[in-house]
A and B are shown apart, each in its own frame.
Chain A
């Protein structure tokens, strides 16, 4: 019985955003990563081609993190003491991108200085040829104080600066504009808030080809269904032609999952939770996979084993069936 397969035809498409710049384009990156460009829902190869695969970023910090899960600290060991060494190890572990998280304070307990932040970023750029995503510590005034000199010191590299939020985006967007960088815009799991922030950023003159959006997600068990559905709605809106949603989506899965009790704690937890390490890897991997199914274009992870599994899944999803 011949079955007439229903195919969606969409008027809109997601913009293509290119991270990183090689020497020919004013940067020093050995590889650049293009994401977005979708003209259909994720991996619907029978409707149209999927121009770019979801990219995987490994999250590292400018100094040894204190509050990360012991499993991560054990895995990375001394590597995590030097961001350059760590970045190289992340590249070797198969990352497409490096996400460098700047800390609020240095190892001595004093606030991170702009000079220290710039030095950390430069050492990472020297150690790896991958494009870079740089997040400030997450407090508006500190972010601005650190990200502006970082943007200036890396002019032309097309790094992604984060986070732009509705209460703090102007300085970061201006720094990206002046130095040929990109930004990531984070809103709290809401389609309209996401659109609104994209409009504000666009109004400052930054082309949307230089903006990623982070709709925020929750980890598995901690609100993932909200992230999942907001991402599905954003992607449907983009395909229906709503220009302010036609941006690639980035999700910080490693950050969300490794702070859950399931991943962070190995002792005095219910026996029904099973083996700690495997549970934690599953938490990260399954959260990532769920969001890849709902349209994630960049997934930031913390553990190389999760990255290996998610990469294998994306390889399969990108294979066009016969």
Chain B
């Protein structure tokens, strides 16, 4: 049973020595209660207290980190079932799978490794690769070598044969890969390998009962970094099992299932695979192995992952102000938008893409999109006029043409009153139509 912050505080030394990195023992206790700190950060805690706190100090979903050559992928440490309750913390790692009988592995991996797509100012990439054995130990080792020559990202190694797995692990040096995996028949040998090579271990079972039992058996051997692979052959079964695992971990602090989940949405039909991967991203997967990773599949998945794992308490905003696009002159038009970052990037990209110079006035709408901000009273004529003055646009422009987003055409009359010496124009509703509007109408 989880302890409250006060209960935990009573078990701590209460010296406020700050060695844990927090200002007081009480502050540290509160962080422990919120599962946002580890007890090991306190060097002075008594053995007795340690035993009592062990159960409550362990995060309900263990943080598992895969490492390779300076790159890391983390999953776990989640604290909520729904992102609005707090946030989801660790974006599920996306891994592209290759089989060891594939031809030209190096080229395939090099292309996938180099893939990076820009989304609202961020470069999004895959996190690593999964190498699957289908032939023998020698082929597996060779395939891993080929992958390593093309990418330094973390790996998932796939084979149920401990001898093959060991050959694969030997091909990696000083890494912490995920090995897949341990089932009812091979778990002792696989657990031995995980310990020997410092790998995380995937646990495979058809039922939740079987999964919990196997995970607990393996944990007793001292392997701490486990990842669960429940049977997810249909979307409804996968959804039920992943939800149950998350609930058991968070609500019951049920440690045998307190680990990140591994999902294999792979399907011969890439479109179906995307649908399955969508469920994995929205509903609790920690690591996701993809079989199709052409850009038209990877790009939307990377964006979805970014969206779902955005902290709801911190809307992604840009700084309000005047942004100069394509080297504007005094006679260039002023385009208005809000400081919600998706809105800003959509508009800025289109204005830039038009090749025409403009001043982009980004108003402080508390990080809301145009329509949402307008509905909430955060984007109106008064605020826009205030921004025009605050950011000294009258000193920058001579032509004084200001363009409103089409969705708030209704504001044009009021804005004309607020800015009597400006010409107020109404632009398109959608950013995508900005270039043609600028070419034709401005």
Contact = CB atoms under 8 A, between A and B. Distances in A.
Interface of A: 1-6, 41, 43-46, 67, 188-190, 193, 218, 220-226, 228-229, 232-233, 236, 259-262, 264-265, 268, 270-276, 278-279, 281-283, 285-286, 289-290, 293-294, 305, 309-310, 312-313, 316-321
B295 A273 contact: yes
**Binding site secondary structure of chain B:** helix
Contacts of B376: 188, 190
6 contacts: A274-B296, A285-B275, A286-B274, A293-B278, A313-B235, A319-B234
A310 B235 CA distance: 12
Contacts of A281: 271
A244 B342 CA distance: 31
Contacts of B272: 309, 312-313
Interface stretch (B34-42, B178-186, B206-214): B206-214
A218 B370 CA distance: 12
B212 A321 contact: no
Given A43-B236, A262-B300, 9 more contacts: A188-B375, A221-B342, A224-B307, A259-B432, A271-B295, A272-B117, A278-B294, A279-B295, A318-B236
Nearest to B211: A3
A273 B299 contact: yes
B84 A232 contact: yes
Closest 3 CB pairs of A and B: A274-B296, A274-B295, A272-B117
A44 B237 CA distance: 9
B222 interface: no
Interface centre among B118, B244, B278, B431, by most A CB within 10 Å?
A: B278
B117 A290 contact: no
Contacts of A224: 304, 307
B274 A282 contact: yes
A268 B300 CA distance: 18
A289 B239 CA distance: 13
A74 B379 CA distance: 38
A3 B257 contact: yes
B254 A3 contact: yes
Contact of A261 (B240, B244, B275, B346): B346
Contacts, number: 181
Contact of B252 (A1, A6, A229, A321): A6
Given A272-B295, A273-B296, A293-B279, A5 B244 contact: yes
B237 A321 contact: yes
A45 B236 contact: yes
A229 B279 contact: no
Contacts of A316: 234-236
B401 interface: no
Given A261-B431, A274-B295, A3 B212 contact: yes
A265 B432 contact: yes
A220 B117 contact: no
B83 interface: yes
A285 B270 CA distance: 12
A6 B298 CA distance: 34
A54 to B, nearest CB: 13
B22 interface: no
B430 interface: yes
A274 B274 contact: no
A272 B114 CA distance: 11
A223 B369 contact: yes
B116 interface: yes
B372 A2 contact: no
A279 B257 contact: no
B197 interface: no
A2 to B, nearest CB: 6
Interface centre among B118, B240, B349 (most CB of A within 10 A): B240
Contacts of A261: 346, 349-350, 431-432
B432 A220 contact: no
A283 B274 CA distance: 10
A293 B283 contact: yes
Contact of A3 (B248, B297, B350, B375): B248
Nearest to B119: A221
A168 B279 CA distance: 36
